[in-house]
Amino acid sequence: MNEPKFQCIGRPLPRVDALDKVLGRAVYAGDISFPHMLYGKILRAGVPHAVIEEIDISAAEAMEGVACVLTARDIPGINRYGIAFPDQKVLAEDKVISIADPVAAVAAESPELARDAVKAIRVKYRALPVVTNPHEALAEGAPALHPEGNLFQYVKIRKGDVAEGFQQADIILEDTFQTQVQDHTYLETESGIARMDKQGNLILQTVSQGPFRDRAQVAAVCGLPQNRVRVIRATVGGAFGGKDDVSVQVHVALL
C-alpha cells in the first residue's frame, strides 16, 4: 500500500513569519505611528473597592496639548465588555471594584503630557469593605462587588452523580493548594492605534487573538454598527491566550 504524499503533514515547514521577525521587518502595534497622532493614558482607580463621589477633570482639560479627557458619561455606546459575560466597565461609573479599574482616559500630544494630565485628575472616593479572595467573596454577608452577586457562574452537572462517585471511590484526597501568580509572560506589551478614515469608519490596528470579537465589542462601546469598524491585527509579539480578550482596544477606539 502506497503511503499518501502530503505537502504539509509530516514535513518540517518554516514559520511563515520567521524571517520577518528575525530580520526586524515585522511590524508590531507599537511600531505603527502617524503624523500628529495623539497618545493615550488611563487613570486607574488605585483603591480596591469604593464609591466614586466626584471626578474633577477640569485641571487636565485646561492643560495645553490635551485633546480630550473622557469619563464614563462620554461613552457613546454601552459601558460594558467581556468574553464570557459583559461584566467589565470600560470606565468606572458609580464605583470601582479593583485597584486597576479604569476611571478616566486622556489623549494628548505626547506621552509625557498624557501622563501629567492623568495626574491632574482628582477623584473623590468613599471606601467600601474590601474582598481579597474567593472564600471571602462567597461567604454569607460578604460585600457585593457586582449587583448580581459575587458568584461568577453557576454550572449544573447534568450527567453523572457526584455524591455517588465519592461513595464508590477507593481513595479520596482533599486539600487546598496555593501557587504563585502566573501570567502568559509574552514579551510584547499591549498597544494599539485608531483613526477615522474619510468615510467615517473606525480603523483600529492592535494586538489581538480575536479581531472579529474585538470588532463586535468595540462597535458596541462606540455606538457604531460593526460594518463601520475595521480591526487590523498587527504582528503579535507573543500571546499564548493572554491577548484573547479586549485590553486597550476599547479605550484606544474611544480616544
For 188-199, the pLDDT digits (tens) are 989 999 999 999
pLDDT for 1 equals 57
Domain ranges in the chain are 29-131+190-254
Confidence tier at 14 by pLDDT (50, 70, 90) = confident
For 142-178, the pLDDT digits (tens) are 999 988 889 988 888 788 888 899 999 999 999 988 8
pLDDT for 172 equals 96
Cα separation, 145 vs 132, in Å, equals 11
Residue 38's SS3 state is: coil
Run of H or E including 32: none
Q: For the CA atoms of the chain, what is the radius of gyration?
A: 23
For 70-109, the pLDDT digits (tens) are 999 999 999 999 988 888 999 999 999 999 999 999 999 9
pLDDT for 179 equals 87
Among 118, 96, 1, CA closest to 48: 96
Q: Are 145 and 49 in contact (CB under 8 A)?
A: yes
Cα separation, 71 vs 103, in Å, equals 7
Cα separation, 185 vs 192, in Å, equals 19
Mean pLDDT value across residues 2-21: 83
pTM, entire model: 0.87
Cell of 182: 502566573
Q: Are 206 and 234 in contact (CB under 8 A)?
A: yes
Q: Tell how strand 102-108 and strand 66-70 pair up.
A: antiparallel
Measured in whole angstroms, how far is the alpha carbon of residue 108 from the centre of its chain? Answer: 21
Q: C-alpha distances in angstroms, 150 versus 80, 95, 97, 228?
A: 17, 15, 11, 36
Start-to-end Cα distance in the chain: 63
Evaluate if residue 4 carries a pLDDT over 80: no
Strand partners, 43: 104
For 223-249, the pLDDT digits (tens) are 999 999 999 999 999 899 888 888 899
Measured in whole angstroms, how far is the alpha carbon of residue 97 from the centre of its chain? Answer: 15
pLDDT for 3 equals 66
pLDDT for 153 equals 83
Mean pLDDT value across residues 12-24: 90
Cell of 64: 495645553
Say yes or no: domain 29-131+190-254 is CATH 3.90.1170.50.
yes
For 41-80, the pLDDT digits (tens) are 999 999 999 999 999 999 999 999 999 999 999 999 999 9
Run of H or E including 42: strand 39-44
